[in-house]
Amino acid sequence: MNEKNNYVAIMAGGIGSRFWPVSRASYPKQFLDLLGTGKSLIQWTYNRFSKIVPQENIYFITNQSYIETLKEQIPEISDDNIISEPSRKNTSPCAAYFAHKLLAMNPDANIIMSPADHLIMDEEAFEKTAKEALSFVSQNDALLTLGIKPTRPDTGYGYIQYDVEESLNKVYRVKTFTEKPTLELAKTFIKSGDFLWNSGIFVWNVKTIMNALEQYQPELNEVFLHATDVYNTPKERETISALYTQCTNISIDYGIMEKAKNVFVIPSYFGWSDLGTWESAYENSDKDYLGNAVYGKNVMVVDANECMIKAPDNKLVVLQGLEEFVVIDTDDVLLICQRNREQQIKEYVAEVKRNKGDKYL
């Protein structure tokens, strides 16, 4: 496998509304250092992939409004490697756009499509798995995803059922996808032993994804065929801006993976979390002897247990009497919410928008 044929597209256009009020529309979670590591999530993601593919083969797909922030955080990235989405249309259009752009550049390309805002604790194991995945798709007609061995019946993740009997070098054929099940169903999945969490990291050869687009998303594919003559030219951005309005808003999972027959998964172990919620941030944080995860130099916990607390360093916060709460304080918003209700933060944000407009979003 020629390393020069390996590419990464880091999808960095989301708003991260479940991390409100720290994540805002103008400065979303991929650009934040949520766990106090000294680097933002997108910087960690970029560093991780720079060990896997040549630096010049790493691309960012992001919203126009985030380009300046991206350049500040990853100053070494070339303008040519920043793909501007004219509007948010979910993951299928950006996968289709990148596939068409790359086909025009390198018809032998192997692609990893990855979110920008995931946490991976074991980077060496991730590097090994990613390289195995790239090698597999370079030799097989396969749409591949990385599946995570579940540690609990989480209702916030999608699940992948795989055929434990059918393996090619520890790569398994996928039987079903299930989006965010009920708790009872999630418990059944865990017991059965043949289900994995869907990491949202996809790997394929450019020809394989092009065939899948032609077969399962012909209308979407047609949109990007109209730009065939302008990919990687000065006219690309203007042409794509005009065409993007015609794209349907659909995810890779729904648009392609759930329909295709040649879908495979690698069961993976690299300390993954999608860091989708304050609860997942709590789980991945260091905690005090009362089980509190505390971010902020002037937080005093008097009598509180198992809370997620984040406050500005210049503000004194005294916490007493709370158990299993999320307490997030910013300059203009204070969120106090039970930890087991924090999946509903999206609903709270929608309510804030209805009542207060965009000021606090």
Residue 178 pLDDT > 90: no
Residue 235 pLDDT > 70: yes
Is 38 among the domain residues?
Answer: yes
Contact yes or no for 84/63 (Cβ under 8 A): yes
Q: Mean pLDDT over residues 189-205, rounded?
A: 92
Residues 210 and 351 in one domain: no
Residues 101 and 229 in one domain: yes
The domain total for the chain is: 2
Q: Look up the CATH number of the domain holding residue 175.
A: 3.90.550.10
- Domain boundary pick from 276, 299, 331: 276
- Domain of 300, in residue numbers: 279-356
- Domain boundary pick from 212, 241, 276: 276
- For the stretch 239-267, pLDDT in tens is 988 888 888 888 998 899 999 999 999 99
Contact yes or no for 344/356 (Cβ under 8 A): no
Q: What proportion of the chain, given as a percentage, has pLDDT over 70?
A: 100
Is 361 among the domain residues?
Answer: no
* DSSP string computed for 280-340: HHHHTS---TTS-EEESTTEEEEEEES-EEE--TTS-EEEEEEESEEEEE-SS-EEEEEGG
Nearest to 96 by CA among 224, 216, 244, 211: 224
- For the stretch 76-94, pLDDT in tens is 999 999 998 887 788 999 9
Question: How much is the mean pLDDT over the chain?
Answer: 92
Residue 167 pLDDT > 90: no
Residue 1 pLDDT > 70: no
- For the stretch 294-328, pLDDT in tens is 999 999 999 999 999 999 999 999 999 999 999 99
